[in-house]
Amino acid sequence: MNNGAYNIAPSNSEFQGTDFSKKILDNIGLVHNYDATNYKHTFTVPQDGIYLIHAYMNFQQGVAKQLSLYAKLERNNVEQSRQSKLIGPYNGADFMFLNEINAGDKIRFTVLQNSGSVIQVSGGCRLNIIRMKL
């Protein structure tokens, strides 16, 4: 489980990195590759398996108006899945992905929002990567 606070600039086309740089717990041996330039961090998976990837996004000041938040999961720089959430004022968002991932694969979680202004994500956000199958 990793967490972090950061800003998400508005964009209608470019997915942005997420800053889940503070490790809370790791009992599967993930390798975190930190990218301080654009926060497009990757996590290298140590073992083959079915992985549940859960991201919870919460916002520092709340989102003042309704917006769309899109999440994308990449494996080795190739999009695996994309989800969208319509977020109302002062709400957060949950994203869940279930993927088969091989040892050595690099996964990345990125987001895109269309509010027209920068939104600040709180430090209470979480990225959970759980190995479901041995």
The 8-class DSSP code of residue 14 comes to -
pLDDT in tens, 105-120: 998 888 887 777 777 7
Whole-number Å distance between alpha carbons of 115 and 7: 13
CA-wise closest residue to 109 among 122, 96, 100: 96
Q: Which residue has the higher pLDDT, 11 or 56?
A: 56
Confirm if 131 and 103 have CB atoms less than 8 A apart: no
pLDDT in tens, 14-37: 777 666 666 777 778 888 787 777
Partners of 56 in the beta sheet?
94, 126
In sequence order, the 6+-apart residues with CB closer than 8 A to the CB of 27 are none
Whole-number Å distance between alpha carbons of 67 and 35: 27
Instruction: Write the burial class of residue 27 (CB in 10 Å: 0-12 exposed, 13-18 middle, 19+ buried).
Output: exposed
Q: What percent of the chain has pLDDT over 90?
A: 16
Could you tell me the domains of the chain? 2-131 (2.60.120.40)
Which whole-number Å values give the CA distances from 34 to 21, 41, 89, 101, 128, in the listed order? 7, 5, 31, 20, 16
pLDDT in tens, 43-54: 899 999 999 999
Q: What is the pTM of this model?
A: 0.78
Maximum alpha-carbon separation in the chain = 44
